Amino acid sequence: MTLNKSFQPTIRDIAREAKVSIATVSRYLNMPEKVRKETGERIQRIIDKHNYRCNFAAKALATQRTKTIGYIIPAVNNQIYSECARGVQDEAQLHGYQVFIASAEYNRQREKQMVENFLERRVDGIILTVSDSMGDIAQKLYQEKIPAVNLFNKQGCLPCVSVDNVQASYDATEYLIKLGHKSFAMLGVPFIASDRCRMRYEGFLRCLQDHDIPTHPQSFVQVSSNTSDCSEGIEKLMNSSNPPTAIFASNDLVAINTISALRRLGFEIPKDVSVFGFDDIPMAKHVWPPLTTVLQPGYRMGRQATSVLLDILRTGEHPEETIPSVQHDLIIRESTGVPPR
């Protein structure tokens, strides 16, 4: 097959035909909102006429910027991260950036490899949700002065956009206590895979202690992943000497699996056991019974994290002040109720 060697216009050609400066065409390509509507329409007609494509490789060499952002998520099967990715992408595209997304599947080695891959590809900055926001990856990015923002991880040396996981879990647990529950359990993924889960457990425990409700080692049931079958752990929990009347899950996927396991064992939700999730993913209101959960606004958080990163890229400096926690809310549905008499 013979390659098409027909005329490939440059930005200079587009500018000459549109009767504007090269700078105006460049501004239109990068920030179209900053170019007058009539001028932008004229430039776009000429771009379409010649099937013009920006030479990003040449542009990157000239500007030392690739106009790309790397985004590392823990898992593709959790809707909270797809909502967040949508926010990251929308905000990035508004400012002329493209986003590369990679999933680490809660694996620390994969997280490290993905950061290296992004850096090799010369992304301008990285947004990441990692297993440990105070671990090696965050330290490396901070020490090497690589523009980066943590998303969902509140601790560590990098700027962060997150709800207050401890307080949100405290509020969820306190709501269950106010309903009259006195026997509790929590289900979640291993702490080594998710520092969010560890912080949510901290808020859960703190609330029980503040209300003089006894805790025991069996109050936390570990599940191998968000989507793994937790029937065995639930069965042991419900057959124990002090079975819970309320279960708090570290995220909505774990909560939905918990409801399924309880129903298979013959328990009614919330008549026998109340279940409380975390995230308010789109699926939460469609399961039966609809899931009571903590709302963290994934889409808005994705846009905010991208905005913070773009500010760093523009100024060359990390924000001096701590970014305030994103507001969380309790979304009360039908999976929680008063304890059985």
Q: What is the pLDDT of residue 135?
A: 65
CA-nearest of 116, 129, 143 to 305 is: 129
The reply to whether 116 and 203 lie within a common domain is no
Residue 141 and residue 120 in one domain = yes
Name the residue among 310, 308, 303 with its Cα closest to residue 322.
Answer: 308
Residues 11 and 54: their CA atoms lie apart, in Å, by 8
pLDDT tens, residue order, the chain (341 aa): 333 445 577 888 888 989 999 888 888 877 788 889 999 899 899 888 888 776 554 454 444 567 899 999 988 888 999 999 999 999 999 998 999 999 988 788 888 899 899 888 889 999 998 776 566 777 788 888 889 999 987 666 788 899 999 999 999 999 999 999 999 999 998 888 788 899 999 999 999 999 999 888 778 888 876 666 788 889 989 998 889 999 999 999 999 999 999 999 999 999 999 999 999 999 999 999 999 999 999 999 999 999 999 999 988 887 766 688 899 999 999 999 999 98
Domain-embedded: residue 336: no
Cα(110)–Cα(104) distance, rounded to whole angstroms? 5
Task: Check whether residue 292 and residue 169 sit in a common domain.
Answer: yes
Phi/psi at 214 (nearest 5 deg)?
-65, 145
- Supply the range of the domain harboring residue 275: 165-297
The answer to whether residues 169 and 293 belong to one domain is yes
- The CATH number given to whatever domain includes residue 287 is 3.40.50.2300
CA separation for the pair 319, 312 (Å, rounded): 7
Q: Cβ neighbours of residue 258 under 8 Å, at least 6 residues apart?
A: 187, 230, 234, 247, 249, 275
Tokens of 29: 């390509």
182 in the same domain as 116: no
DSSP strand pairing (292-295 vs 329-331): antiparallel
Residue 48 and residue 17: Cα distance in Å, rounded? 13
Same domain assignment for residues 145 and 176: no
Do both 212 and 97 map to the same domain? no
Residues 263 and 319 in one domain: no
Looking at residue 3, its pLDDT comes to: 35
Q: Are residues 183 and 234 in the same domain?
A: yes
Residue 335 lies in a domain: no
Predicted confidence at residue 74, as pLDDT, reads 87
- 1 part of a folded domain: no
Cβ-based neighbours of 151, under 8 Å, separated by 6 or more: 84, 127, 128, 129, 160, 161, 162, 301, 302, 305
**What's the total number of domains in the chain?**
3
Q: Is 95 exposed, middle or buried (CB count within 10 Å of its CB: 0-12, 13-18, 19+)?
A: middle
User: What is the rounded distance in angstroms from the CA atom of residue 157 to the CA atom of residue 134?
Assistant: 7
Q: Tell me how far apart the alpha carbons of residues 124 and 100 are, in angstroms, rounded to a whole number.
A: 11
The answer to whether the CB of 334 falls within 8 A of the CB of 209 is no
